[in-house]
Structure 1
Amino acid sequence: MTTATALGYGPQDRLLIVNADDFGLCHSTNLGIERLLVDGIVSSATLMMPCGWAREAAQWSARHPHLDVGVHFTFTSEWDAMKWGPVYRGGSTLSLVTAEGYFQRDVKRFERQADSSEVRCELTAQVEMALALGVNVTHADNHMGSLYGLQLGRHFLKEVFEVCAQYGLPFRLPRYLLLESGQVAPPELAKQAGEMAELADSMGVVVLDYLLGLPFRAASGETYDEMKGQMIAILGNLHPGVSEIILHPSLVTDELNAFHGAPARRGMEMELFRDPDIRRKIQSEGIIPVRWRDLRDLQRRS
């Protein structure tokens, strides 16, 4: 069974969620994502609660409870010129931070040092902070994949599922793992993904069928047309089930240019799902748009 069939769709139906990550990262990103949400260009967004502009994004989300906004569980701080750290204040977070008190720059250091009990406290604090600011939290996912054990094999998904079960939130985890090419992953990796999905099932947390996105690192000199071609290919190769496509959109401003390593790419991602060619592709393929709150409703009914 797929998550799509659990939602009541047919076994060959292809359902799609388009999520804008990194809401709250900075003012420019907030303005861009807000515009995409209001215009219905993206299905949802996820908030980085530790970031300096998270409060602005959360307060805006509280004023727009009909739009889907989740929590982007954040445990890394990757840029040199702008940093953030834990929001949990009820005890130690020493295993999560550098000597300066910020989150680790990369996932490998986080996996190596993080204490699972401190991770769970921080997960809870990030959800509680969003709720306290009035966000109608629809789901959760993870910044930079830090909780999946992708670098050293040390994942924190049990803690994630405990928190998601407690708050009735579905989580970004693919039941069926695909490579960046869209092909099914090798058996060993596919088996690991299936086992994690089974753990989510056993704890009552609804997950995706597939997770997709553009390559994490852009090719040198990448153009908008090249990016659009990649996205059209992704849409043309969707598998039956619920797929999520991840975007990282933002307005490109002096603020973004001041700290971000690839600001132009974020500007191009702002335009992708506005593009008439992309919209025609979704329609011609018969792809059905769904929302994270549909998955949340399924989880809470169950």
Structure 2
Amino acid sequence: MAGDIRLIVQGDDFGMCHAVNVGTIQAFREGILTQASTMAACPWFTEAAALARESGIPLGVHQTLTCEWNFLRWRPLTNGASLVGDDGTFLRTVDAAQASITHDDSVRELSAQVAKFAAEGLSIDYLDVHMGQSAEESAYDEVSNAAGKPFIYGPVESQRFASIVTLSDREADGKKAWMLDHIAGLTPGVHLLVTHCAAAHPELAAMTSPGTYTYRWAEEYRLSDQEIVTDPEIRKAIEERGIELVSMRNAFTD
């Protein structure tokens, strides 16, 4: 490897809403973000696709079989009955999805999500999941094998990383100190840092009800992630340690 320590900084949920799209591209252009896990079944995917073509941001398929919000809801690209609740949108939790979704319905839906990238003229570098694995492991294996790209949270592929850590669900007032400590402690190898970036916009707080288990994920975690990923002191700390910022496109190349 050219660098002893390589760091992937991933932005999840690209395509979910306008604020996430704007924040993700800003974090890529002005900050340390190196790739975006992108949701083809979501209403703002078309804008995300246009921004990706313009910016060249490396993309992964954020395989989506759930929708956690009260007011922002999205539907499958396919018509599998086991994928949806009574309102015709995805189920709200991973547990509910696991109890309902059949292997065949999940493979058809996830394959359709992959195909939507190609329809937009976009290439992909990896696949991962939104919220957690909502289908059988074999479904993700089948889809990633057909796409010819790694499923990075699979039992084999995940072992290639020296660490996989999420920044988002940490208290905002301690997030920068945690990030600086994390950078200082990185060891040789490829590390994955998962973030959820977004630009400040009223739509974030409007996605779901206050007091719900996902409420802090709607706005609070995303705005504090945005601050960290675009903070010049964070970039300086990375540069001073000689850490190479990479994406799945080049993380495991010599």
Q: Which category describes the TM-score, using the shorter chain as reference length?
A: 0.7 to 0.9
Q: Provide closer, same or farther for how the CA distance between residues 254 and 268 of structure 1 changes in structure 2, counting only shifts above 3 A.
A: same
**Is 1:140 aligned to 2:88, yes or no?**
no
- 1:158/1:240 Cα in 2 relative to 1: closer, same or farther (>3 Å)? farther
Report if aligned partners of 1:173, 1:208 keep a CA contact under 8 Å in 2: no
Cα distance, 1:9 vs structure 2: 5.5
Are positions 1:83 and 2:73 aligned together?
yes
Match of 2:137 among 147, 157, 161: 157
Could you say what secondary structure the match of 2:153 adopts?
strand
**Does residue 102 in structure 1 map to residue 89 in structure 2?**
yes
Structure 1 segment 128-277 matched on structure 2, within 5 A? 128-147=115-134, 156-173=136-153, 196-197=155-156, 208-214=161-167, 216=169, 218-219=170-171, 222-223=172-173, 226-260=174-208, 261-262=215-216, 263-277=219-233
Kindly indicate whether residue 30 of structure 2 is the aligned counterpart of residue 30 of structure 1: no
Distance 1:26 1:238 in 2: 32
Structure 1 stretch displaced more, 98-107 or 53-62 = 53-62
Q: Taking every aligned residue pair, what percent have the same amino acid on both sides?
A: 31
Q: Which of 3, 11, 14 is the equivalent residue of 1:20?
A: 11
Q: CA deviation at 1:250?
A: 0.5
| Shift in Å, 1:40 | 5.3
**Residue 130 of structure 1: CA displacement?**
1.4
Shift in Å at residue 264 of structure 1? 3.1
Query: Is 1:284 matched with 2:240?
Result: yes
The C-alpha deviation readout for 1:43-70, integer Å capped at 9, x for no partner, is: 0111111111111111222334x32122
Distance in structure 1 (CA, Å) of the matches to 2:253 and 2:43: 31
- The offset of 1:297, in angstroms, is 7.5
Indicate the residue corresponding to 2:111 in structure 1: 124
**CA-to-aligned-CA distance 1:256-283 (integer Å, 9 cap, x gap):** 1211523133112112122232122212
Cα distance per residue 1:214-242 (max 9 Å; x no partner)? 263x44xx42xx11112122222323321
The answer for unaligned runs of 5 or more in structure 1 is: 1-7, 148-154, 175-195
> Letter of the aligned partner of 1:36 in structure 2?
A
Q: 1:102 to 1:121 in 2, by over 3 A?
A: same
What is the DSSP-based 3-state SS (H/G/I as helix, E as strand, rest coil) of the residue aligned with 1:85? coil
2:131 is paired with a residue whose SS is helix
Query: What residue is the counterpart of 1:188 in the other structure?
Result: none
Q: Measure, in 2, the Cα distance between the counterparts of 1:282 and 1:162.
A: 37
**How many residues in Structure 1 have an aligned counterpart in Structure 2?**
246
CA contact (8 A) 1:59 1:135 kept: no
Q: Which whole-Å CA distance do the structure 2 matches of 1:282 and 1:297 have between them?
A: 20
Higher relative contact order by CA 8 Å / sep ≥ 6: 1 or 2?
2
Q: TM-score, normalised by structure 1?
A: 0.74
Q: Any unmatched runs of 5+ in structure 2?
A: 209-214
Which shifted more, 21-30 or 132-141?
A: 132-141
Q: Determine the C-alpha separation between the residues in 2 that align with 1:281 and 1:295.
A: 20
The alpha-carbon deviation at position 207 of structure 1 amounts to 5.4
- The equivalent of 2:62 in structure 1 is 72
Q: Higher mean Cα deviation, 71-80 or 267-276? A: 267-276
**Retained in 2: the 8 A contact 1:209–1:241?**
yes
